[in-house]
Structure 1
Amino acid sequence: MNLEEEFAQHRAGLVAHCYRMLGSLHDAEDAVQDTYLRAWRGQAGFEQRSSIKTWLYRIATNVCLTFLQHSSRRVVPSALGAPGNDPDDLHPQALEVTWLEPFPDHLLGTDPATVVGDRQSLRLAVVAAMQHLPPRQRAVLILREVLTWPAAEVATLLDTTTAAVNSSLQRARAELARLRPAEEDLSEPDEPVRRHLLDQFSTAFESKDLAALEGLLTADTRWEMPPIPTWFSGRADVLRLLDAKLGPGPDRRVLVETSANGQPAFALYNRGKDEQYHAHSIKVLTLTKAGIAAVLAFHQPALFPAFGLPISRRSKETP
């Protein structure tokens, strides 16, 4: 296998690694391109004391750390303040905020072992919590917990001591435990309950069946809509939002199922005056055994191509 083939073999994992560090698919892909450029330029100095994979991840981590010196952490609306309760009083889109972005699952490839492990560490709640960590602490957590590198190897990469790496990891674990939901809250229901929840949500949302949606949402459900800073917490307020913002009538909208961050997701298309359906948002759902615990709706049509989806559709049935 030549170097180019080796690079291609590791691309999916590198993009996922950089996404965990940066919280943005666009930034992650740029970081991987920079990683490959640096690797090509430095291949003569590669002494094969480690594998090509380890070498690439070392370069990628340093690229991300350099990038994070000049950028703000990526956030979700609930990290910025208290929830709202008036759907007619939404704050305007905050385009100056560096928002967290979703990660399309199809980019992970098809290796079952890799996919299962990667998806757990890519869940939106986990990645959002990671963004609160200082960059070097974030790197330690990802290298030790996700890539399972030895502490000594991480210390060499970060030019520090093994003791400092272990201390940083303990602090990162404690902060992550404080910020992210408890592990049991992240466990999805088994099939066919999961399938039933998704089918019911899609049908109820498309038809604006608020009674059905009420039965699907948990009591403490959250609804967030970046780049809109206003977010809603609790079934009653979320239903009030949906009642105000979903237009009535048949065939007003269509949901196309996809997946992001190891979680079920839907792409929402709204019917326009031209009778075509236009990209509106990517909605990533957090499912629990009690129902739908959160919906993070990314109101960013520019994300659709990354999910392999068109910006517009001629009808509900055809792409």
Structure 2
Amino acid sequence: MYKAKYFPESSFWEAESHPSPSFSWRSISEAKSVLVKGARCQVGDGNHILIDDPWLPRAAPFRLLPVQGGRDEGWKVSNLMNNEGSWNETLVWQVCHVDDIRFILSIPLSNQRIKDRWMWHFDSKGMFSVKSAYRLLIEEEMVQETPLHTQDLWKKLWSTKVSGLHRRPTLPGLKQLQFMEWFGCCASNLPPNLWAAFVYNLWGIWKERNNRLWDNKNMEVNQVVLLLSTRLQEYQRHQGKDQGGGSRRVVPWKPPSAGWVKINVDGAFYKDTCTGALESLFVMIGGDV
């Protein structure tokens, strides 16, 4: 329907502005600049991809670099293939720019007739999502407008060994600058173990803020602190086990010495309800309780 009305003689990418577009088409047109940054063709048999379409598996615009002569604008990607379902490497070296060749030859081909298709470059399955497009725009903005030392700070943040860090909170204007100065100071002065706990707790506070704002879910402050502390300890304990550091030396129990009272303590915590219990046992000389 859109093609018949808005680009009957061309493709979506060449569609021009319309004098009276519908609301949905106007919205789609506004998003085209974002789609161009990540949409490319996935090569199948190459019969439906023009040689100058975006199809190289590298950074946008995914197109071949220009060369003097050698190939025609009307060529399809299939013109660069042999009949056996492989690349014609001799021809590729003749008509393509040297910087494109390794990307072309890295594309696997099949001797079966697999259809070409459009895909989203920034997803392992080629599926577009608003989340991945938003992440792309945020990363571009960070690279273009953020000083190098701040970029290093973000790299340190995302490499921190704690669970749950998968989204970036954004703060506008001056608040972001003040936050980044404070955050950078913390990153420079905290040792690795405290830095991990610090980052995890910041993430937990941000998550609790979102729960209150968007999901109308509230927890008491002490519950938030207890939950974050418990989950961080669980994560660090499991990480230690995975790295071979989770085994503990078992110390046999002994009765207290003369003049001493031994107190044995045990506790349990149920994270889903944030409830727990603590018990203690006093033992005197001779094993009397």
Alignment TM-score, normalising by the size of structure 2: 0.24
Q: Which has the larger radius of gyration?
A: 2
Of Structure 1 and Structure 2, which has the larger fraction of its residues in strand? 1
